[in-house]
Every structure is written in structure tokens, then in C-alpha cells.
Structure 1
Amino acid sequence: MNSRRILWGALGAVVFVAVIGGAWIVSLPTAPSVAAPPAIAQDERDATIAALKPPKRQRPLIAIIGINDATETTDYLMPYGILKRADVADVVTLATRPGPMTLFPALKVEPHATVAAFDARHPDGADYVIVPAMSRDDDPEALQWIRNQSAKKAIIIGVCAGAKVVGDAGLLHGKRATTHWYSIKELRGKHPMMRYVEDRRLVVDDGVVTTTGITASMPMSLTLIEAIAGRDKARAVGRDIGLADWDARHESDEFKFTRPFAMTAIGNTAAFWAHERLGIELKEGVDEVSLALVTDAWSRTYRSQAVTFASTAGALQSRNGIRILPDKVATNWPAARLLPAIDNAKPADALDSTLGGIAARYGTRTTDFVAMQLEYPRHRSTQ
């Protein structure tokens, strides 16, 4: 289940507890610890890169799978956009069924193919399969396809709460793994033989890769590019997306359910009269990574929903070949509720700018609330 849907489900319980007694809220920590994580040892870095080398093809084939109903927006689009701009692999987006995909919490896209069509064209399977968070962890068709790809020796990469899907496919037994901070307890409970690894944004173990929360797919994608094409290529792509430095460093204690987090969820939800739909114009050639990050972040405030609009109902093609369907047909949007154009902003810069915009509109607590959901380190040098 998508991390925001998990949080929405938990919100009812939070509100109930808040109403009948505030003791639980008061017992929550007031703030997570924030400390610069230690550097990754060179031998660990080398082992990670070695374990991610392409298993089959010199130019690898990477498949990103989702279900048509509510696959997580940034988990699905960010690895695609980053890997496509590197041009070191063939990258395709897949859905379990024909038709468009409604991503969550924002955007609607047309995948390149169904899993059945992919199998017909590539009976030997992919080199890498990226598994985003999905609205359900136990979709039978998705699970069977992931198992089949693993049996064909594809490296399976569970992004964020996609680790739960990988776990339900039976691939985490005895493996070292991580996931979105909110899903750690659930994942460990369902898969007791899995060994959780803290303080790492990326964990690789015998053909299975897992990451922490949503924005971890940025360093994951760059690490994969390094494994395929070398450090210099990965650095060039990193600069292109606004991430000059990255590795697997992570401060797990920075991300947890805190009192301000709970109170922001309650307060922003309760202020229903102030909820708003914020428009962003969908343009041909838009950077799909920046668009995903911007719409995802604005749709996690519990005060706003990002909505794309265009003058026609037809799909528009992104910078790297994703066909995106507008939510609304319109030639303009009320200025007070119009989000800034993305233009040529680098994805990491677009996210930082969006968090600044959220702070200006709703306050810094809401910015922290969104960054916590995205599991976004506020230290750019350790992303």
C-alpha cells in the first residue's frame, strides 16, 4: 500500500485517540534526531556496485511495473526519467492490465506496455525490475510476474514501500532489506526472516534491492547507472538532476512518527474549508521527474491536491517519452491557485523549491510533514 494511503488509514486512529484522550499524542517524541550519517566504507560501496552489475545484457533492459490503480507517482516516474536521461539501458514502464494508470497521489499516465506484452517480446525477462509502492501489496498478477522475473535472474528493486510487494512475492526470506520508515514494523512483522538494515537508503542482497522512502529512488537510480556505466556517467547524470553527491548514507532516526507530524496531519485534515486544488499546466516535453516530485509533494500536505491541466484532453509526451493525461481540460487556472511552471528546473532543485513554496503557503510544519512522508533528508550533501 502506498505510504500516503497508509498514513490516511492511520489518520482515523490518530484522530480518534486525539478526541478521547491526548495522552498518546503527548507521549510521541517532539522531534526526531538529526545527525549527519557516517560515510560509507569503500569496500561496502564496491560490493554494492559489483552486486548491481547487469546480469544478462551489455545494454540492460529495465522494466518498471505498476498496477493500474494507484501506483505511487514518484516511485514509478523518477527511476524511469533518471535512467532514461542516462541512456545506458532500455527502460520501459509496464502495467498489469491494458489502459491508463492512475498514479497516487497525482498524475495519470499511459504505460508503454502490459506485463503480458512485455513477456511476449522478452521471454528471457528483464535485467532489472523496479517495483514501486502500490495501493495493494498482494495483487496476484503483479506478484506472479515479479516471481517469474526473479526466476529469470532479473535483479528485483523494491522502491520505498514497494519492498512490501517484493516481500509478498516471497523474495525477502532471509534477505537484508529496508523500506519506507512508516512500513518497517509491518514489513518485519509479515516477514520475520527478513533482516532489517538501518541507516542505509539502499540495501542489496543476492539479487534483491530495497530502498527507504520515496526520494531514495534518486540515489538508487544513480547507483544503478554507476553499476552499468561507471562513476563518471553517474556523476554527470547526478549533476543534471541537481544531485552532485550521493551514496547509501541515511540517518534512520531522522524519520519517525512524531508529535508534530501527528498534529499536522490532524490539523491540516480538520481545516477542510481551506483545502484547495492547485493547478499546474501540463506541457509537451515536461521533465517527468520534476513533475512527479512537484505534484507528489503538493498532494501530501493534507491541505492541497495538485491537478494538471491542458487545453486538450489528449496525452502529452514528457521529456523522456511518458504519455501523461491531463486531469482537467482548461486553458488557464485561477492565479491564486496556480503552481509555478517547472520549465528547466533540475528535479532536486524543483523539489527544494516546492518545499519552500509549501512553507510559504502552509508553514514550516507542513513542509516538515511532507518531507517526512517523502523520507527526504534535509542535508543535500547526504542524499
Structure 2
Amino acid sequence: MTRSRMLYAVIALALLALAGFGVWMASLPGTPSALTATPVPQAEVDALLTTLKPRRARPVIAVPGLNAGTETTDYLLPASILRRADVAEVRLLAAAPGPVQLYPALRVQPDATFAGFDAAYPGGADYVIVPAMRVDDDPAILDWLRQQARKGATIIGVCAGAKVVAAAGLLNGRRATTHWYYLDTLLSRSPTIQYVPDRRMVADRGVVTTTGITASVPTALAMVQAIAGSGRADALARELGVLPWDARHASGAFQLTRPFATTVLKNRLSLWRRESLGLRLTPGMDELALAFAADIWSRTYLSRVQSYAKTTDPVPTRGGIRVIPDLAAPDWPQQSRITLPKGPPLQALDLALEAVLARYDKATADIVAMQLEYPRWDSDLLSR
């Protein structure tokens, strides 16, 4: 083949690929209509709380992580909320020694490895909260989950952590849910699962699964209610700035849409707009606000979050989580610095989305909220 013919062949293939991509984009739905989540029947709420009842007066909660990649808020939020409630012993774990690299941002030093936890708690945990991980079928993770289930632990798959729970064989024949983006993957890999829409949490025979990232908040509060009563859970929800926090959900509002795909593609291609944002780590900082800020700004496809402190030594948060700075730096340029807000920590979620809207645009704030599967975000109201 001559060089000119080869060039024509490459151009032809590129045009065919673009045409196919255009057809795929055109096949996607537009923006979903506004949907109202309907209340969950009381019998279902009672069944969820029964599933979440602990075996001990002060239960033990384990949050396992894959060292090479675990989702930021899935790993940090449940542990933070449950430690704040002071109703259980909460341990952040890793499959192997060393830090856990979170994605899309932050790195933390866990409390123990699986082996260390097993030595300290040979009877196992009361609950195991499973975050989303870069790899769904890591053998060490799956073996440890099966062991904990056999010891009687309630297994809670947060967000795409449901895929990890399914890979361990613990969702076979059960009712379940997961993050909207991974639902088809979950069901194709585990076809015996019965998908339950319009619920942020679904319980079935000792296993609980949730929808997207922000569902870890009501799930942790439901655990507090099951352990210490509704009064403690409601008081904590007010302290955090989370109302309401029940299991109702409008699943149809979250899907892969044409505006979502278009904005992600546009932002990915906007190389000239890319920026690094600094997030300062300080002792005693609120890890809830920290996790939301790091996660939200890292999901714009325009910004990269880097944590910094005076040294690279781990920095302890309010809840005793040791966050390892990405770099040692005395400061960061003001215009590229992320500031954590004061007040109830969960307000950081809305405030960070509003800041994304102001810094970039409405479409970018919307794709972040869609990734978080956050039902309370309405940028149309905020931008009027």
C-alpha cells in the first residue's frame, strides 16, 4: 500500500469512528425530567433496621480498602460519621501494609491490615462497609469478605462497592442496588441479583447495598439508628446538616445522558483549562468536608486536587483519620486554593458544588452531582 493510500485509509477509519460516536451520542437520552422520590413503606424501613441490628452492645465496624485504589468518600464518610456518633469501634483497614491511595484524590494511613484486625477481633466485625475499589476481584479482599460474612458480619456495599460484594458471591440471589453507572455491569456479572430501583439502601439477608457515592451518608445514619436509636440518629443528622436522610430515591433521575456525555467530552478536551487546586491539610480538620471537597473538585474533568502541608507527615483529622499530604508546601496560590467551609460539615457538599458552578459552569456542576448521585442538587435553582 502506498503512503497516500494508507493516509486515505486512516482518514476513512477515523471518519467511520466519528460517525459511530455521533450515532451513539444521538442515541443517549436528554436531561431527565424532575422526579419526586416516594416514601419507603414502614415495613421495609423496619426490615432494614433489623438487618442493621448489631451483635454487640458496642459493635465493631471495619472499612476495608485496596491499597492501590479505593473511592475517597466511600472510604472516609461512613467511618467519619460513625466515629462522630461514638456508638461503635470503627477501623479503617487495608489489604496490605502501607497507605491507601484514594481516588479521585487523597491518601490515608489505615488503622490496620486485615491480618492485624483479625488478630485483634478473631470473632470478626459486626459490620463490614465495602467501598468502591479500582479492582473488583482482588483475591485478598474477596477472601477476607467471605470470612467476615461466615463469622456473622453484616456486609454493606457502598456505591460501586456492590460490585466487590457481588464478586465475593455474597449478592447471589439477593435484592440489591448500586451506583447508576455500574448497574448494567453488576447485573451482567451477577444475573441472579434482583435490582430494586428507587431506594438509596436495599437490605436482603445480612447484606445491604446502596446507590451512588452520597448514599453512604444516610446509610451510616441508618446504622446509628439501628445501634443507638432514632433520637441519636436524628440529632447527628442535624449536627451534620443532613435532612432528610431516609432511603427514598428517584432512580430515574440518574442515568447516562447526552448532556452528561457531551460535558465530560468537552472538559476532557479542554486541555488549556486544566488546573491544579491546592487543599491544605491541618490537624483536627473535618474529614467530611475534606472528603467532599477533594472528591467534588476532582470530578470536574478540569481540575486536579493536590493536598499539601508543611511536611509530608500524616495529618490527623477530627475523627482520627491520618491523611498523608501529596506534597510539602508552605502555601498555595490564593486563586487556586480550595477553602473548607465552616458550619455543618455536610454543607460542604452543596457549597463545593456551588463553587464549581461559579468557577466553571452549570454543566460541569451537574456532571459532578450526577457522578455523586446526589438527589438534592438543583443547579437550575442556584443559577437563577
State the TM-score, normalized to the length of structure 1: 0.93
Query: Which residue in 2 is equivalent to 1:215?
Result: 214
Among candidates 362, 365, 371, match of residue 364 of structure 1: 362
How many Å apart are 1:26 and its aligned residue?
1.7
Query: Which residue in 1 is equivalent to 2:373?
Result: 375
Contact 1:17 1:24 in 2 (8 A): no
Aligned AA (1:305): R
The residue correspondences of 1:122-201 to structure 2 (distance < 5 A) are 122-201=121-200
State how far apart, in whole Å, the 1-side matches of 2:19 and 2:276 are.
28
How many Å apart are 1:379 and its aligned residue?
5.8
How many Å apart are 1:338 and its aligned residue?
0.9
Contact 2:76 2:287 in 1 (8 A): yes
Identity %: 52
1:305 aligns with 2:325: no
How many Å apart are 1:75 and its aligned residue?
0.1
Larger of the two Rg values belongs to structure: 2
The residue correspondences of 1:342-357 to structure 2 (distance < 5 A) are 342=341, 344-357=342-355
Shift of the 315–359 alpha-carbon distance from structure 1 to 2, 3 Å rule, reads same
The residue correspondences of 1:21-60 to structure 2 (distance < 5 A) are 21-54=21-54, 56-60=55-59
What is the count of residue pairs matched by the alignment? Answer: 364
Aligned AA (1:314): D
Query: Which residue in 1 is equivalent to 2:223?
Result: 224
Aligned AA (1:241): L
Query: Which residue in 1 is equivalent to 2:292?
Result: 293
Q: C-alpha deviations, 1:31-56, integer Å up to 9, x for none?
A: 123211111122221121122100x2
Shift of the 272–235 alpha-carbon distance from structure 1 to 2, 3 Å rule, reads same
Q: Which piece of structure 1 moves more, 69-78 or 33-42?
A: 33-42
SS at match of 1:285: coil
Q: Which piece of structure 1 moves more, 80-89 or 25-34?
A: 25-34
1:327 aligns with 2:297: no
Query: Which residue in 2 is equivalent to 1:10?
Result: none
Contact 2:290 2:340 in 1 (8 A): no
Aligned AA (2:367): F
1:338 aligns with 2:337: yes
State how far apart, in whole Å, the 2-side matches of 1:230 and 1:275 are.
47
Q: C-alpha deviations, 1:110-149, integer Å up to 9, x for none?
A: 0000000100111100000000000000000000000000
Shift of the 159–40 alpha-carbon distance from structure 1 to 2, 3 Å rule, reads same
Instruction: Show structure 1 runs of 4+ deviating over 4 A.
Output: 15-21
Contact 2:177 2:195 in 1 (8 A): yes
Contact 1:293 1:347 in 2 (8 A): no
Query: Which residue in 1 is equivalent to 2:264?
Result: 265
How many Å apart are 1:17 and its aligned residue?
5.5
Aligned AA (2:287): E
SS at match of 2:305: strand
State how far apart, in whole Å, the 1-side matches of 2:126 and 2:296 are.
31
Contact 2:126 2:153 in 1 (8 A): yes
How many Å apart are 1:23 and its aligned residue?
2.1
Q: C-alpha deviations, 1:69-122, integer Å up to 9, x for none?
A: 110000000000000000001100000000111100100100000000100111
Aligned AA (2:355): G
Query: Which residue in 1 is equivalent to 2:279?
Result: 280
Aligned AA (1:233): R
Contact 2:293 2:340 in 1 (8 A): no
State how far apart, in whole Å, the 1-side matches of 2:231 and 2:166 are.
33
How many Å apart are 1:283 and its aligned residue?
0.6
State how far apart, in whole Å, the 1-side matches of 2:179 and 2:109 are.
26
How many Å apart are 1:57 and its aligned residue?
1.0
The answer to which structure, 1 or 2, has the higher relative contact order (CA under 8 A, 6+ apart) is 1
State the TM-score, normalized to the length of structure 2: 0.92
Contact 1:34 1:251 in 2 (8 A): no
SS at match of 2:346: helix
Q: C-alpha deviations, 1:310-332, integer Å up to 9, x for none?
A: 11111110001001111121111
Aligned AA (1:355): L
SS at match of 2:330: coil
Q: C-alpha deviations, 1:199-221, integer Å up to 9, x for none?
A: 00000000000000000000000
State how far apart, in whole Å, the 2-side matches of 1:313 and 1:16 are.
49
State how far apart, in whole Å, the 2-side matches of 1:16 and 1:121 are.
59
SS at match of 2:133: coil
How many Å apart are 1:306 and its aligned residue?
1.3
Q: C-alpha deviations, 1:264-286, integer Å up to 9, x for none?
A: 11000000121111011111001
CA RMSD of aligned residues (A): 1.4
Aligned AA (1:232): G
Contact 2:369 2:377 in 1 (8 A): no
Contact 2:289 2:340 in 1 (8 A): no
How many Å apart are 1:340 and its aligned residue?
1.6
State how far apart, in whole Å, the 2-side matches of 1:53 and 1:217 are.
17
How many Å apart are 1:19 and its aligned residue?
6.3
